[in-house]
Structures are given as structure tokens and as C-alpha cells.
Amino acid sequence: MSDSRVLLITGASTGIGAETARHAVRDGWRVVLAARSEDKLEALASELGGEEHASHKRADVTEWEDQQALVAHALEAFGQVDAVFANAGFGAKRGFLEESPEQWRSMVLTNVLGPALSIRAALPHFKERGSGHFVLTSSVAGRRALPGSLYAATKHAVGAIGEGLRQEIADTAIKVTLIEPGMVDTPFFDNPVQGALEPEDIARAVMYSLDQPDRVDVNEILIRPINQPI
């Protein structure tokens, strides 16, 4: 197992993050799981085979100290980080008279500052190693404006972060991939949704991007459920 690659995942306790962790371990990766729900992280790490395969640490992605501690934890646990899946995020009702300003603030910090801090925390290690891979969860909503959607604005920002990073490190072997899901049946929604993708569909897309040869940098994967018109 010591030769296995290491994937750090934020927002790993449920949904896309948890399913990606399962696929990664199945494919021979070791994983470092991060989220705010420590009990869920513990359960998932145990499911994945314990500390030999999956380490975990509670982290709030909006806190710089937590992000630094998370990378340090990964290096202590496994000695390296090969890829970071900056997946933590959540949404809001559409409408600029909906939700509360406090909910907006939390969403913007999580969805925008969160991945930026994940990049900042891991990039020195990647540069030192001369390789690495950032995978960022954006959305179909990051491709177009939606009526009254501040969430869409945050995902536009993730796209800009990813492309800005790609250009900054274009002279290195570090890769950047944006994953842009359409509707996915995850805890993101309060109620089950019909005709949606499953978390495993997105996990497969993430693993596809990670498993490419060194010469291939998959920049974007836009993935919708069949019959989703926009």
C-alpha cells in the first residue's frame, strides 16, 4: 500500500465526496477525508478499511488554519498528497429575497474561499514534488446565469479559480480539472430528486480525470443527467 497514490477530499462525509472516496480506495488509492461532521468521517473511514486506507480529520474549509492542518495531517498519515478534490460546498434557494444574509455569507465562503484555500494549502507540496492534481467541484450552474441564483455566481467563481490556477502553473506538471455536474441526488437537496445523476456517476468522472497519463490534463468535465435541458 505504501506505493499507492493519496487523494485528499473535502466535503467527504456524504454524497459525491464519500462516493469518490469509495471509488478511489477500490482503485488502489489511499484517501484523506475531511468535513465538519466527524462522526460521519469516522464511519466512512472504518468502512474503507481504517487507517491503512483512509485517514480522516475534521476541517472547516473556510478556515485557513484548518486547511493547513489538513494537509499536514495528510503528510503525517501517508507521507504525500498526489491529488486534492476540493468538493465541499452547498447551495441556496433561488431569489435575492430568499435565504438570509448569514446563509449567503456561509455559502460564498464555503464555495469560493474554500477551494482557494485548499489550493493554497496544497500547492507548495505539489510544487516541491513537481506534480499533483487539483480537482474542483463546480456545476452546470457555473456555465450560465440562473434567475436569482447567488449559488450560480459562486460556481462561476470556482470556474475562474480553476482556470486561473491552470494558467499560473502551466509550466509545471500539476494538473487542474473542473467537474461540472448537473442535478445529482445528494444531501445537497432537502428531498430526493427524480431523473438525477447518482453520486457514483460523478465519482467515476473524478477518477477518470485522475487516471489519465501524465501527458493528459483533463480541464473540464460537464456531466448532466439525460434529459436535463439546461
Residue 41 pLDDT > 80: yes
Q: CATH number for the 6-223 domain, one of 3.20.20.140, 3.40.50.720, 2.30.40.10, 3.40.50.1260?
A: 3.40.50.720
Rg of the chain over Cα atoms, rounded to whole angstroms, equals 17
Average pLDDT score over the chain = 94
| Residue 194: predicted pLDDT | 75
Residue 194 CA from chain centroid, whole number: 24
Give the lowest-confidence range in 26-30, 112-116, 137-141, 187-191: 187-191
Find the angle CA(97)-CA(99)-CA(105) to the nearest 5 degrees: 110
Which amino acid type is present at position 118?
S
Burial of 79 (0-12, 13-18, 19+ CB in 10 A): exposed
> Within 13 A of 79's CA, how many CA atoms are on the CB side?
6
More confident residue, 191 or 54: 54
| Residue 214: predicted pLDDT | 96
**Distance (Å, rounded) from C-alpha 51 to C-alpha 54?**
5
Contact, 91 vs 107, CB < 8 A? yes
**Distance (Å, rounded) from C-alpha 73 to C-alpha 96?**
39
| Residue 2: predicted pLDDT | 57
Burial of 50 (0-12, 13-18, 19+ CB in 10 A): exposed
The predicted model scores a pTM of 0.94
The proportion of the chain whose per-residue pLDDT surpasses 70, expressed as a percent, equals 96
Active site residues: 151
